[in-house]
Amino acid sequence: MKKRNPLFLLGSLLLALTATAQTEVPPGGNSFVTTLPQGSHARVTNHGWSGWDNAGVVYSTFLKPATAGTLSVSMAVVAADNNSVISASINGKAYTVKLDKGSYTYNLGSWEVDTNYVELKVKGIKKTAPLFAEVTGITVSGSAVDARLTYVKNNEGNFFHWGRRGPSVHLGYDTKAVDDNIEWFYNEITVPEGNDPEGSYFMAAGFGEGYFGMQVNGPEERHILFSVWSPYNTDDPKSIPADQQIKMLKKGAGVHTGEFGNEGSGGQSYMNYPWKAGRTYKFLLHGHPLDSIHTEYTAYFFAPEKGQWTLIASFSRPRTHTWLTHLHSFLENFNPDNGYITRKAWYHNQWVRTASGKWEPITRARFTGDNTARIGYRLDYDGGSGEQGFYLRNCGFFNHPPALNGLYTVPAPTTAPVIELEKLP
């Protein structure tokens, strides 16, 4: 009898172990309430599903296999009685499961899947207790499960906040060819219709010391937001020494100003404005040294509905002597409960104006992602260039992300912004 090569036997053993691997997918980081009837209290917490009180509720759990094959799913459940019946489906194939009173682990079913993102949908069919059940764990196994399975693996000490938010994506504009100090930065944003869910921040004019863009804060509330970080490194604005605090120099009518924290600290301003998807908005940022230890930053916003430039605010930053540097844009979701919804924006017609008064176009940008993207917890990120300029897209569990750190180009715009700078408010 011919002997097998020991390496072949080891490889076969590893393959067999991989094919039967079980992986726990934390519901706190990978599940969302994707359908929430009015009045329902269903939600996802750090520990699982709770408040499952309505048959119209749909819980969706997302993961991405690296290998096509069989995906089997089991779920740890705590049920209040013997009369709850639920349904689990992937790609339209559904299984019905009857729950028993108490704490049990149920096999929900097995599906054939490919290497795209998988959405496991679970909904209630009938119950007699106030809740269908609580779900405390989800386990997957089968030939589609191996060490390369993509999902949010842990909470990074922050209740799955970053994983549920989804990956943030950035465009870093290349200004190496500009051989003078940059005093002004001009950028435009167009958000396609249907790509502006609550929690979105479309940041247009980022710089080394702050950021300026537009947000979706609620169903009826949208902001134009401009912030400048303090040079004092802290997440608590109250701890900033007086000589390192951001000073407001002026603000526009109806603009709110104050402090911000948690992601660095400093001065913040925002204007409530009902901007709309499908329309193009213009952003203009001014930055220049006031003296040897202070730099002034001023933000202006142009809405087509108004047809004129609006002052947002002007801040002085201490211990700083610089012109505009590290120009960038980004797209983020700051609402962890809707990290399953896609958002997108076009960033186009970028220009800088130097201290000597020359407008120069920007034609290159580098695409990057945050830590959630870099460590591979979420792969639903996208960015680059296209017919409308540069773009960013994130969240929604779409497939085929581009490589991070790619450099993209657009044709050079030919007409510089026509702005009477001396007449700005």
Of 100, 128, 151, the domain-final residue: 151
In a domain, 297, yes or no: yes
135 close to 27: Cβ distance less than 8 angstroms: yes
In a domain, 338, yes or no: yes
125 and 168, same domain (yes or no): no
In a domain, 10, yes or no: no
Q: What percent of the chain lies above the pLDDT cut of 70? A: 94
Of 151, 179, 196, the domain-final residue: 151
pLDDT (average), residues 148-176: 93
pLDDT (average), residues 221-240: 91
pLDDT (average), residues 170-178: 98
In a domain, 5, yes or no: no
Q: Which domain holds residue 69?
A: 18-151
- Lowest-confidence range among 147-151, 225-229, 232-236, 387-391? 232-236
d(Cα 352, Cα 180) in Å, to the nearest integer? 10
Task: Give the pLDDT confidence score for residue 332 in this predicted structure.
Answer: 98
- Lowest-confidence range among 68-82, 165-179, 262-276? 262-276
144 and 225, same domain (yes or no): no
128 and 209, same domain (yes or no): no
Half-sphere exposure (Cβ direction) of 184: Cα atoms closer than 13 Å = 24
30 and 167, same domain (yes or no): no
Predicted confidence (pLDDT) at residue 10 exceeds the cutoff of 60: no
What is the Cα 96 distance to its own chain's centre?
34
In a domain, 32, yes or no: yes
- Is 18 or 72 the better-scoring residue by pLDDT? 72
170 and 42, same domain (yes or no): no
Backbone angles phi, psi at 312, to 5 degrees: -90, -65
194 and 238, same domain (yes or no): yes
- Lowest-confidence range among 55-69, 149-163, 267-281, 331-345? 149-163
In a domain, 2, yes or no: no
**How many of the other CB atoms lie within 10 Å of CB of 38?**
6
Task: Give the pLDDT confidence score for residue 17 in this predicted structure.
Answer: 44
d(Cα 56, Cα 54) in Å, to the nearest integer? 5
231 and 130, same domain (yes or no): no
What pLDDT digit, counting tens, does each position of 341-378 carry?
999 999 999 999 999 999 999 999 999 999 999 999 99
In a domain, 156, yes or no: no
Task: Give the pLDDT confidence score for residue 8 in this predicted structure.
Answer: 40
Predicted confidence (pLDDT) at residue 322 exceeds the cutoff of 80: yes
Q: What pTM did the predictor assign?
A: 0.92
Task: Give the pLDDT confidence score for residue 261 in this predicted structure.
Answer: 54
Q: Record the tokens describing residue 322, joined without a space.
A: 């610089």
In a domain, 113, yes or no: yes
32 and 82, same domain (yes or no): yes
For residue 25, the SS3 value is coil
249 and 326, same domain (yes or no): yes
Question: What total number of domains does the chain contain?
Answer: 2
306 close to 279: Cβ distance less than 8 angstroms: no
Q: pLDDT tier at 153 (50, 70, 90 boundaries)?
A: very high
Backbone angles phi, psi at 397, to 5 degrees: 55, 45
268 and 401, same domain (yes or no): yes
d(Cα 390, Cα 180) in Å, to the nearest integer? 24
Q: What percent of the chain lies above the pLDDT cut of 90? A: 89
Greatest mean pLDDT range, 5-19, 236-250, 319-333:
319-333
- Lowest-confidence range among 147-156, 161-170, 366-375? 147-156
114 and 192, same domain (yes or no): no
Task: Give the pLDDT confidence score for residue 18 in this predicted structure.
Answer: 44
What pLDDT digit, counting tens, does each position of 199-219 carry?
999 999 999 999 999 999 999
pLDDT (average), residues 292-316: 97
d(Cα 367, Cα 364) in Å, to the nearest integer? 10
CATH of the domain at 95: 2.60.120.260
Q: Record the tokens describing residue 251, joined without a space.
A: 């603000």
Half-sphere exposure (Cβ direction) of 23: Cα atoms closer than 13 Å = 25
- Lowest-confidence range among 230-234, 298-302, 349-353, 364-368? 230-234
Predicted confidence (pLDDT) at residue 335 exceeds the cutoff of 80: yes
Helix or strand (DSSP H, E) at 316: strand 308-318
Task: Give the pLDDT confidence score for residue 154 in this predicted structure.
Answer: 87
Backbone angles phi, psi at 27, to 5 degrees: -60, -30
66 and 87, same domain (yes or no): yes
What pLDDT digit, counting tens, does each position of 396-425 carry?
999 999 999 999 999 999 999 999 999 999
For the chain, what percentages of helix, strand and coil (3-state, to nearest 5) are there?
10, 50, 40
